[in-house]
């Protein structure tokens, strides 16, 4: 049984990894404002719920690597290479890990609540660490962008003009789809297990 679970986990993570790559590539074409929408948070939450926090962290790492591969970080790389690398990789990994730990913490009480909470935590952590990285590594540039956009307050620009709409779309997308997909996958897996033991 352990071998079957290991094969299932490796296969599931392989599929979710491929989905992260595909969604990050396709998500680059969907833009609202400055940045593309991170559709990849959905498979990160699914992986974290099904396979645990470290799976979420792995998928977050793949997400970060794909941000570089698709050129979504190029504007920031031109300003501060180490700051960009740290911000992009840490936000992805932390989003997956936190989603997994929140799911694990709440799943014992209520699986649906745990999935909703993980679906909310993932984009909150992703966007929160991105904003922190902007403050630490790119403050002067972001302030100049804000002034060009007509914002006197840089923090207001960061929240409203910089990431606001993207964050709300990512959060809504995750909250709407993650619980349904996790429940469906678990249902399919349990039916598969019953068939194999019958």
- Interval 133-147: pLDDT, tens: 999 999 999 999 888
Burial of 78 (0-12, 13-18, 19+ CB in 10 A): exposed
Out of 3.40.710.10, 3.30.450.20, 1.10.1760.20, 3.40.640.10, the CATH code matching 2-197 is 1.10.1760.20
Query: In the prediction, which pLDDT does 79 show?
Result: 93
Domain segments of the chain: what residues?
A: 2-197
Asked if 97 contacts 60 with a C-beta cutoff of 8 angstroms, the reply is: yes
Distance (Å, whole) CA 55 – CA 58: 5
Residue 108 per-residue DSSP state:
T
Residue with tokens 């100049």: 144
How many other CB atoms sit within 10 Å of the CB of residue 59? 30
Distance (Å, whole) CA 115 – CA 183: 9
Query: In the prediction, which pLDDT does 155 show?
Result: 86
- Helical residues (DSSP H) of the chain, grouped into ranges: 2-27, 41-51, 53-69, 74-77, 81-107, 111-137, 139-148, 154-156, 165-197
Mean pLDDT for all residues in the chain: 86
Distance (Å, whole) CA 24 – CA 20: 6
Per-position DSSP letters for 23-44, written without gaps between them:
HHHHHTT-EETTEE--TTHHHH
Enumerate residues 6+ apart whose C-beta is below 8 A from 3: none
Q: Which of 49, 9, 24 is nearest to 179 (CA)?
A: 49
Mean pLDDT, 10 residues at a time, the chain of 198 residues? 74 89 75 62 92 95 93 91 96 96 94 92 94 93 89 86 79 84 77 63
């Amino acid at each position: 049984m352990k071998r079957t679970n290991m094969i299932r986990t490796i296969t599931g993570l392989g599929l979710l990894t491929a989905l992260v790559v595909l969604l990050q590539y396709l998500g680059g074409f969907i833009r609202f404002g400055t940045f593309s929408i991170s559709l990849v948070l959905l498979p990160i939450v699914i992986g974290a719920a099904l396979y645990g926090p470290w799976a979420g962290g792995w998928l977050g790492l793949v997400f970060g690597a794909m941000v570089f591969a698709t050129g979504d970080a190029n504007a920031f790389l031109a300003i501060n290479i180490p700051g960009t690398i740290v911000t992009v990789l840490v936000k992805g990994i932390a989003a997956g890990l936190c989603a997994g730990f929140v799911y694990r913490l709440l799943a014992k009480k209520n699986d649906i609540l745990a999935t909703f909470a993980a679906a909310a935590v993932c984009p909150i952590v992703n966007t929160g660490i991105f904003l922190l990285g902007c403050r630490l590594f790119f403050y002067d540039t972001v302030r100049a962008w804000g002034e060009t956009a007509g914002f006197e307050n840089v923090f207001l620009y960061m929240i409203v003009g910089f990431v606001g709409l993207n964050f709300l779309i990512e959060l809504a997308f995750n909250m709407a789809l993650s619980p349904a997909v996790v429940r469906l996958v678990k249902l399919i897996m349990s039916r598969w297990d019953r068939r194999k033991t019958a």
